[in-house]
């Protein structure tokens, strides 16, 4: 004999909780993308790191096929705020509830080198003049720094390219000048002193040295070299 038992409301509901953040660390300048994972995240969910709001919070889209697994309610995306060196607690508030992770389970802020750091330059290939190039990292000060592009082939330079801040000192852009196809090393330069702040200085164009000591970050105009 078949016996039908009533379904218990919420028996498969894991409730509300924040479980983790990824990545688990970032520069004290903030501005890097983070993903917070857990369960019970409603569309009203907000997040904080070290007591400061995570900005640009978005949620995954529900799949059109109801049989496709979904991340809705389990993940939210955002941009980390600036913070102080060390571990910071992470919290999500949704539906009047707040869940927090602290200590080594939280988010770790890494102090930025005084000269700044460039983590990525995008796009890095198939560039043309007039295109906006984004640089992410820390201590990227649009008011005191410019960009220099050094031709990897003959070490000639395009200098004094102005920066525009996208997110504090963590993300900036500059406009790609019109240049011949080829590979160009990217350097950050102090406006006042002319010193190279990020990336080893390239040898002068008339040097017998190669460009091997130049910046690790390079962009390519035209087809990949």
Q: What single string gives the DSSP state of each residue in 74-103?
A: TEEEEEPPP--SEEE-EEEEETTEEEEE-G
**Predicted local confidence at residue 81, as pLDDT:** 96
Percent of the chain whose pLDDT exceeds 70: 81
Q: For residue 211, what pLDDT band results from cuts at 50, 70 and 90?
A: very low
At residue 213, the 3 state secondary structure works out as helix
Q: Which residue has the tokens 């660390």?
A: 25
Q: Where does the chain show beta strands of DSSP type E?
A: 17-22, 25-27, 33-39, 46-49, 52-53, 55-58, 75-79, 86-88, 90-94, 97-101, 107-110, 117-122, 132-138, 145-151, 157-162, 164-167, 171-175, 182-190, 196-198, 218-221
Structure tokens at 95: 């539906």
Structure tokens at 60: 């995954």
* Fold of the domain spanning 17-110: Immunoglobulin-like (2.60.40)
**Predicted local confidence at residue 45, as pLDDT:** 95
Min mean pLDDT across 41-45, 162-166, 199-203 is at: 199-203
Distance, CA of 88 to CA of 115 (rounded, Å): 24
Is a pLDDT exceeding 80 seen at residue 130?
yes
Residue 25's beta-bridge partner residues? Answer: 108
The whole-model pTM stands at 0.77
Q: What is the pLDDT of residues 50-79, one digit of tens each?
A: 999 999 999 988 766 666 666 678 999 999
Q: Is it true that domain 117-221 has CATH number 3.30.2130.30?
A: no
Percent of the chain whose pLDDT exceeds 90: 58
**Predicted local confidence at residue 224, as pLDDT:** 52
Residue 28's beta-bridge partner residues? Answer: none
Q: For residue 124, what pLDDT band results from cuts at 50, 70 and 90?
A: confident
Domain with CATH 2.60.40.10 in the chain: 17-110, 117-221
Residues 72, 62 contacting (CB under 8 angstroms): yes
**Number of C-beta neighbours around residue 156 at 10 A:** 15
Top-confidence residue, 211 or 196: 196
Q: For residue 4, what pLDDT band results from cuts at 50, 70 and 90?
A: very low
**Predicted local confidence at residue 71, as pLDDT:** 64
């Amino acid at each position: 004999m078949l016996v039908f038992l009533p379904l218990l409301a919420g028996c498969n509901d894991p409730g509300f909780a924040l479980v983790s953040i990824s990545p688990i660390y970032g520069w004290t300048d903030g501005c890097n993308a983070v993903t917070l994972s857990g369960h019970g995240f409603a569309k009203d969910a907000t997040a904080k790191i070290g007591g400061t709001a995570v900005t640009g919070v978005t949620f995954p889209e529900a799949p059109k096929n109801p049989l496709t697994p979904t991340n809705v309610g389990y993940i939210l995306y955002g941009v980390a705020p600036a913070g102080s060196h060390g571990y910071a607690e992470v919290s999500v508030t949704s539906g009047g509830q707040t869940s927090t992770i602290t200590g080594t389970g939280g988010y770790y802020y890494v102090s930025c080198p005084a000269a700044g750091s460039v983590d990525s330059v995008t796009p890095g290939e198939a560039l043309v003049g007039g295109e906006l190039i984004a640089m992410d990292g820390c201590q990227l000060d649009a008011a005191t720094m410019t960009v220099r592009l050094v031709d990897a082939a003959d070490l000639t330079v395009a200098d004094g390219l102005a920066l525009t801040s996208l997110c504090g000192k963590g993300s900036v852009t500059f406009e790609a000048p019109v240049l011949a196809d080829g590979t160009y090393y990217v350097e950050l330069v102090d406006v006042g002193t002319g010193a190279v702040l990020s990336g080893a200085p390239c040898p002068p164009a008339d040097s017998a040295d190669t460009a091997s000591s130049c910046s690790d970050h390079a962009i390519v105009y035209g087809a990949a070299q």
